[in-house]
Chains A and B, each alone.
Chain A
Amino acid sequence: MKRIYCMAICFGFVALFSPLETWAERPLGAGLMNPEMSALVDMFYTNDDTEEGISHLKEEISGFESHGTPDEDEHAHGTEEGFNLRHLELQFSAAVDPYFKGSAIAAIDLDGAELETAEIETTGLPWGLTVKGGKFYSNFGYINAKHAHQWDFTDQTLVYELLLGEHGLNDKGLQLSWLAPTPFYLLFGAESLQGNNEKMFAYYGDGPLPRHEGPRVNTGWLKVSPNLPGFHALQGGLFATKGVHQEEHDEDENTGLETGPDGKTDLFYDGYNSFYGADLIYKFNSPKPYGRGDFFLQGEYIKRKKNLEVVEDVLNPALVGNHQVDVQDGYYVQAGYGFLPRWRAAARWEEVGLTNKSDLPDGSSLNYGSSRKASGMIDFTPTEFSRLRLQFNNGSYATEEGQTHASEVFMQWMVSIGAHGAHSF
């Protein structure tokens, strides 16, 4: 590293002492560092006014209940009241050779390290094609492919968190995308993913029944953007995803309530889980410096349909072969404005369970209520490499005990050191 700067300075001196009239090409200083490396620290303080904590409340939202996660340890990664160190993110990226680009993000937290993404991407394919492989964020919708530090709010949107988990759809697999040769921006993508999501496409329980082989999920999406003049930008997208899904429940013979895994399978479901939706974003990139006057308005809608067949039911064997169909949806819409140099304010409105229905195997139906959340935030961005944020949430959640209110506060502090990253749309 030191040597690189010495070289750069030497070139500078050589150039300084050569007469200005001499026209010459100078070796470029940029891109000497290989790979590009950066580290990101993201910490926040949070508090809420619920008795058992907001994470617990969110697991009880009717129609969106978590039936125990495939890996019980995941629970420990949830937000705790008080200080949270989201993680230290180590990022590496570089061109591998003339054909591929590689990048990896290792997320290190107090419980250990995990691979957030590890991607190989083609750079030399013709006809606007790109193939990506490894572990990556699915590029459906708008917010899914954004990393936590790129979000405009500290927390994940409710609809993503309840349907896909805090990290969204991030999985091992392959992605093929095509930038169409149209006079406006039109990008198509298809992905085949292993299916290890914490809320969908996985196997819940530890029974002896055979699991589906991967890859278990397929996605398809498109993004389109008209050529708006000047500082305006608009992008819309559509997406659909379908994958196999298996669930296992242990029910108490007398109460019918779940007892938790006791090694004895009472109920076994097998079928499909799918979701589809749309996203829309408008941005105004103000010509003023330090982000003043910048504006964004974005929203996404997602609807999921889970269709599971009863494969085994110890208590009611007559129901075997019948289906349980769950349909849930949700949306968020958020807007933000740079009201002063380096200062932004943003508001977000979210609703889940506008449709919130379970058709049970015995032919009966249940309709649940909807949950809503309003958020407001102000953040201060001293430079491109640091940000401080204050955020309030106020929500009303539909649980078995009725509508439950909860307020949350977040104070977030993030910094990035190392290579200067570029910002995608």
Chain B
Amino acid sequence: MKKFSLFMGLLFAAGFVSAAPLRVVTTTPDLADLARQVGGDKVKVDCLSRGNQDPHFVEAKPSLIIKVRDADLFVQTGLELEIGWAPVLIQASRNAKVQFGADGFLDAASYITPLDMPTAVSRSEGDVHPGGNPHYLADPHNALSVVKGLEKKMSQLDPSNAAVYAKNADGYSRRLTAKISEWESRLAPVKGVSFVSYHKNLVYFAAHFGFVKVGEIEPKPGIPPTAKHTDKLISLMKERQVPLILTMPHYDSRTPLSLAKATGAKVVVMALVPDAVPEATDYIAAIDYNVAGILNALGK
């Protein structure tokens, strides 16, 4: 009897272990959505920041340490986007599985080709990222690469569900590829349109969909707008007849609106990540929202 109950106990424990979902923690909401798409019901995904928050500055608060402590897989955007807070969380979590270089640590930037590689790195140029621009998920092609990377990583950590991850990743990639064609054709009529953005975070978006970036509202990355720079930007926008000002909900609307007033350009608040605005319920919905916003502003 004793042996039997021990056997049952072990069986139960084994069953419990294999049924426990893979716990994934991501730094940003876009990675969280992609991880959910790939992992489905085999993973439990937690995100450390919110969509309407500046991802460069997140307080490394103790409740986030607890999330990282319990993670099997830690996914970050990389390229120094989270350098001010993610390393502290990882170290303070004391979770050997997700330390830098461990199997449970994934830098999604390792699956993409960075743009804006600086030829010289000096902080006199503001918040320069030596590895390249970290806002690469604004290009959905990069999301396809990251999905593949997530699938590979999840399968490595949880081989028993590898088939599920492969199926989910394949299905999502098909869906995303179809959406990419849809966005491309919807944006085709406005290809080549120029814009200014608040922060240097639409470089990949512009490269994919054929928009021309004229400048940023920030005089240098991470430096808030100045009157002098805004004046220069106004004359540049007038000269180049820039019709679009692209900003994000966490930035102040005052400078974009005064630029719009001075130049006649339209302000579009972009959802760079899910939950940046209520309509952006997931990664695809966020890009849907942005495409609609741009087309609407251009009267198309």
**For residue B66, which residues in chain A have a CB less than 8 angstroms away from its CB?**
183-185, 227
B229 at interface, CB cutoff 8 A: no
In the complex, whether B28 has a CB less than 8 A from a CB of chain A is: no
- Does residue B80 face the partner (Cβ distance < 8 Å to A)? yes
**Cβ-neighbour of A29 out of B85, B96, B127, B131 (below 8 A):** B131
The answer, among B54, B69, B127, for a CB contact under 8 Å with A179, is B69
- With a cutoff of 8 Å between Cβ atoms, the chain A residues found around residue B114 in the complex are 12, 15
Closest to B116 in A: A12
A129 at the interface (CB under 8 A from B): yes
Q: Does A285 contact B59, Cβ atoms closer than 8 Å?
A: yes
> Count of B residues near A, CB < 8 Å?
58
CB-CB contacts below 8 Å: B132-176 with A: 132, 141, 145, 148-149
Q: Would you give the shortest CB distance from B86 to chain A, in whole angstroms?
A: 7
Check B250 for interface membership: any CB of A closer than 8 A.
Answer: yes
Chain B 36-75 per-residue mask, 1 if CB under 8 angstroms from chain A, else 0 = 0000000000000010111011111111011001000000
A341 partner residues in chain B, CB cutoff 8 A: 224, 252
Interface membership of chain A positions 13-32, coded 1 if the CB is closer than 8 angstroms to chain B and 0 otherwise:
00110101001111111110
Give B225's nearest chain A residue, CB to CB: A341
Write out the residue numbers on chain B whose beta carbons fall within 8 Å of the beta carbon of A27: 110
Contact among A18, A128, A383 with B113 in the assembled complex (CB-CB below 8 Å): A18
A216 to B282, CA, bound (A): 58
Residue of B whose beta carbon sits closest to that of A181: B69
Total contacting residues, chain A, CB less than 8 A: 61
- Indicate if the CB atoms of A8 and B96 lie closer than 8 Å: no
**Chain A CB within 8 A of B194 CB:** no
A369 to chain B, nearest CB (A): 38
- Whether the Cβ atoms of B84 and A422 lie closer than 8 Å is yes
* Whole-angstrom distance between the Cβ of A103 and the nearest chain B Cβ: 11
Q: Is A420 in the interface zone, CB < 8 Å from B?
A: yes
**A423 and B63 form a contact (CB under 8 A):** no
Contact B86 A288 (CB under 8 A): no
Contacts of B92 in A (CB 8 A): 179, 424
Find B88's partner among A8, A16, A185, A424 (CB 8 Å cutoff): A424
Q: A341-B224, A424-B92 are in contact. Are A25 and B111 (CB under 8 A)?
A: yes
A28-B107, A227-B66 known; A124 vs B113 contact (CB < 8 Å): no
Q: A23-B145, A123-B99, A384-B84 are in contact. Are A425 and B62 (CB under 8 A)?
A: yes
Q: Which parts of A58-114 form the interface with B (CB within 8 Å)?
A: 95, 101
Q: If the complex has contacts A12-B114, A179-B69, are A423 and B88 also in contact, measured as CB distance less than 8 A? A: yes
A41 smallest CB distance to B (angstroms)? 14
Cα of A187 to Cα of B78 in the assembled complex, Å: 28
Which chain B residues border A287 with CB–CB below 8 Å? 50, 52-54, 250
Name which of B66, B107, B127, B222 has the most chain A CB atoms within 10 A of its CB: B66
Closest chain-B Cβ to A285's Cβ sits at a distance in Å of 4
Q: Which of A28, A185, A422 contacts B85 (CB 8 A)?
A: A422
Q: Does B123 contact A (CB under 8 A)?
A: yes
Within 8 A of A (CB), among B218-254: 222-224, 250-252
Tell yes or no: B267 within 8 A of A by CB.
no
- B121 part of interface (Cβ distance < 8 Å): yes
Question: In the complex, which residues of chain B have a beta carbon less than 8 angstroms from the beta carbon of A31?
Answer: 100-101
Is A30's CB under 8 angstroms from B131's CB? yes
Q: How far is the CB of A89 from chain B (nearest CB, A)?
A: 18
A233 at the interface (CB under 8 A from B): yes
Tell me if A290 counts as interface (CB < 8 A to partner B). yes
B9 contact set on A, CB distance < 8 A? none
CB atoms of B57 and A225 under 8 A apart: no
A-contacting residues, B73-121, CB 8 Å: 78-80, 83-88, 91-94, 96, 99-101, 107, 109-114, 117, 119, 121
| Top 3 A-B residue pairs of the complex, sorted by shortest distance between their CB atoms | A225-B62, A185-B62, A233-B61
16 A-B interface contacts by CB (under 8 A): A5-B130, A8-B130, A9-B119, A18-B113, A25-B110, A25-B149, A30-B107, A129-B94, A285-B61, A287-B53, A287-B250, A288-B250, A292-B252, A422-B83, A422-B84, A422-B87
